[in-house]
Amino acid sequence: MTAPFLNHRLRLAARVIAGGGLVAYPTEAVYGLGCDPWNRAAVMRLLALKRRDPAKGLILIAARPEQLAPFVAWLPPPRMAVVLASWPGPHTWLLPVRPETPRWLSGRFDTLAVRVTNHPLAAGLCRACGGAIVSTSANVAERPPARSAFRVRRDLPGGPDLILVGACAGADRPSSIRDGRTGRVLRP
């Protein structure tokens, strides 16, 4: 894919997200489904499409750690150094939510799952959007995650407003999830 075409697709996807739409895109292991984390209607549409319980909370991805700062509080330096050393990459961390973080993102938790992605399309989308985006697997809850644009279309009919077609990075499973405060692994 040529750079001008890719940049055009990323700008288009960012406009869809800014307009309250849903975009599917490849990540490290599976296709993600994303939207503007500040747009409640978009998040509710995403949750309804996935048939996901809002109490479970969501994951945000970013191209840089600073894009996560409006949503989560940084941990004390020794703990935060461990988190930052794992990024960018397929490592999701639970960090304490800021008071202004919408509950539709964190669900019933006082933490939020966040990751700085190293997937070029996913990171490019965050840069085009100018901040973090919601990133949940592009599938109906409890069903296998999509690993291709074809599967997204098949498994989520009438779903995303746009699909950024590309290859997943080859990881065999979704990102690990750890508690940033303790380092405890919640999902290997």
Per-residue pLDDT of 40-78, as tens digits, reads 999 999 999 999 999 999 999 999 999 999 999 999 999
Question: What's the pLDDT at 49?
Answer: 95
Token pair belonging to 86: 């794992």
**What pLDDT does residue 172 have?**
76
Give the pLDDT score at 40: 98
All domains of the chain, ordered by start, with CATH? Answer: 3-187 (3.90.870.10)
- Can you read off the two tokens belonging to residue 152? 């997204």
- What is the C-alpha separation between 129 and 135, in angstroms, rounded? 13
How much is the mean pLDDT over the chain?
A: 94
- Report pLDDT digits (tens) over 117-157: 999 999 999 999 999 999 999 999 889 889 999 999 999 98
CA–CA gap between residue 152 and residue 88 (Å, rounded): 25
Contacts of 127 (CB under 8 A, 6+ apart): 10, 63
Amino acid identity at 157: P
